[in-house]
Structures are given as C-alpha cells and as structure tokens.
Amino acid sequence: MTQRFEGSCHCGALKFSYEGEEITQGLRCTCSICRRKGALMSTELIPLERLEIDANPDHIGLYQFDSGIAKHYFCKICGIYTHNETLRAPGNCRVNLGCIDDLAGDELEVVVFDGKTLL
C-alpha cells in the first residue's frame, strides 16, 4: 500500500513529495560522501518522475564526483542534503529521511550498504 510523503530542507526553500511504500527502514551508505553526511536515506528507490520537487531551481545545489553518475542535491540556502540520484540505478533516487515531515527516523531499523567498495 502506498502513502504520500512530503519533506523539505531546513529553511523550506526546497520541498519534495512522492508516493511510496511504508517506510520501515533507513539506509546508511559507507561511501566517502555518505559516510561524511551521515544521512539516513530511503531504502526504496524512487523513480525521478515520481519525485515532485517544489523549489526555485536557483536554490537547488548539485554535487557530483568521480564518475559523475550519482547526483547529490542540497538546498543552497540552508545546506541540507535532500535527495540523490543513485550510481547503481540512474533515473532513480533516494530521499533523506530526516527531511520527511512527521517521520521518526531514530525509530527505524537501519540497513547498511557497502558503498565504500562499490566500483
């Protein structure tokens, strides 16, 4: 059964929403950028066409490194990392669960993904 999720950065300049499965787990990746960010990401891969972004394009920052396939998005105003397009499944993204309204991320089971040895 799908639900509607809504979230935003800290200042509210970058908002997102999508229809997805119930969130029961969060994902922590061990790659160099995710380890440093410490974000708890969605385990569900969300097709980009299902992720609705409500923001001034000038307020959306993009960071890429290495192959440039993965895309890491953040708010240029408050700096909060909101979502990323994945390396292993381009065209799909994960969202930062800490940005989703009314979700108690500290109560979720955490799955660890070995992104450090990816590639």
Can you tell me the distance from the alpha carbon of 19 to that of 1, in angstroms, rounded to the nearest whole number? 10
Domains and CATH numbers, the chain: 2-113 (2.170.150.70)
- The pTM is what? 0.91
Q: What is the pLDDT of residues 31-62, one digit of tens each?
A: 888 889 899 999 999 999 999 999 999 999 99
Q: How far is CA 62 from CA 17, 85, 113, in A?
A: 19, 10, 22
